[in-house]
Structure 1
Amino acid sequence: MRWFLLIFLLLGLSISAQNTVSWEEGMDSPIANLKQVEWMTGHWKGEAFGGITEEIWSPPLGGSMMFSFKLVVEGSINFYELGHIKEVDGTLLFQLKHFDGDLGGWEEKDETVDFKLVKIEDDKVYFDDFTLERVSDQEVNLYVVIGNEDGTQEEVQFNYKRQ
């Protein structure tokens, strides 16, 4: 009986911690525009991966919202991300590229990491394994599924406060 209860509790915790949704073959992205994610505009700071994280999001312009991400660990740049959310065919696409501290690119020159829009709510935008959540005008959460070295995947939360 104890094992059953323990498994039930662990399963319940893992389900309640799930804040991302995966894109499945055959899905269509919902109709959406940048006005629905404009609340991300601003300068945000938080902590993750043993360091300080910073994101800066521009307001919509030219059909996209541009962002930069920086992770600083022990006073040194660990990596950057540059990207955007852009309007494509009546919906939204989230794209980014990674760079090391010296701006050496991780992806090939013409490649991006793309996240298709799965669903959108007033305060949550669900891209494929990447969710943006407005907690308040001064706080947001980002959730992303990342791969571990052992081949497993986990959902990581980034909590940011407006600067």
Structure 2
Amino acid sequence: MKLLFIFLFSLTISAQTENNLEIKDSLAPKLENIKWISGNWKGEAFGGQTEENWSEPSAGSMMATFKLINDGKVSFYEIEIIREVGNSLVLQLKHFDNDLKGWETKNETVDFPLKKITATQVIFEGMSFEKVSENEMNVYVDLENEEGEIEIVKFKYTK
């Protein structure tokens, strides 16, 4: 009985320590804490070349354009923003065909609420940014496959 009590007590202490570490490691949901995302990034995904260009924070937002090129032709574009909403951030985007015809309706956006920011990660629900170095960044996107299962697609970018 005493051994069980010590084990349960140590689990409680461990969980409290992990919770405290998470709080200490988390940064405030401010654009200044994620400005490392800004820049002109290039990489590969979906069997083609990708470009993603993020602005510096200004006027309560950051904006980006994304382009996927397959076989020398644009497959699709995205316009993305990260903006301050209340005491948090939200990432919103819209998709466009190569002729700028929108995928979403006029007033519809794909939204990713913020979950957490650390010195090297910005984690939104369904999309995350990871700072590898000053000139390297990974972006992870949750996509639903044809079977309805979620797959994580990794975009490996360099400046």
Q: State how many pairs are aligned.
A: 133
Deviation string for 1:17-50 (max 9, x for gaps)? xxxxxxxxxxxxx841100110011100001111
Q: Larger radius of gyration, structure 1 or 2?
A: 2
- Deviation for aligned residue 1:147: 0.9
CA contact (8 A) 1:123 1:135 kept: yes
Over the aligned positions, Cα root-mean-square deviation in angstroms equals 1.0
Asked if 1:76 is matched to 2:73, the reply is yes
TM-score normalised over the length of structure 1: 0.79
The one of the two structures with greater contact order (alpha-carbon pairs below 8 A, sep at least 6) is 1
Distance 1:149 1:71 in 2: 21
Q: Runs of 5+ in structure 2 lacking a partner? A: 1-26
Which structure has greater helix proportion? 2
Any gaps of 5 or more consecutive residues in structure 1?
1-29
Structure 1 contact 31–90 (Cα < 8 Å) conserved:
no
Q: Deviation string for 1:69-111 (max 9, x for gaps)?
A: 0000000110111010001112111000000100010001000
144, 153, 157: which one aligns with 1:156: 153
Equivalent-residue separation in structure 2 for 1:93 and 1:124 (angstroms): 15
Q: CA deviation at 1:139?
A: 0.2
Rounded to whole Å, the distance in 2 between the matches of 1:124 and 1:81 is: 22
Q: After TM superposition, where is structure 1 displaced by more than 2 Å over at least 4 residues in a row?
A: none
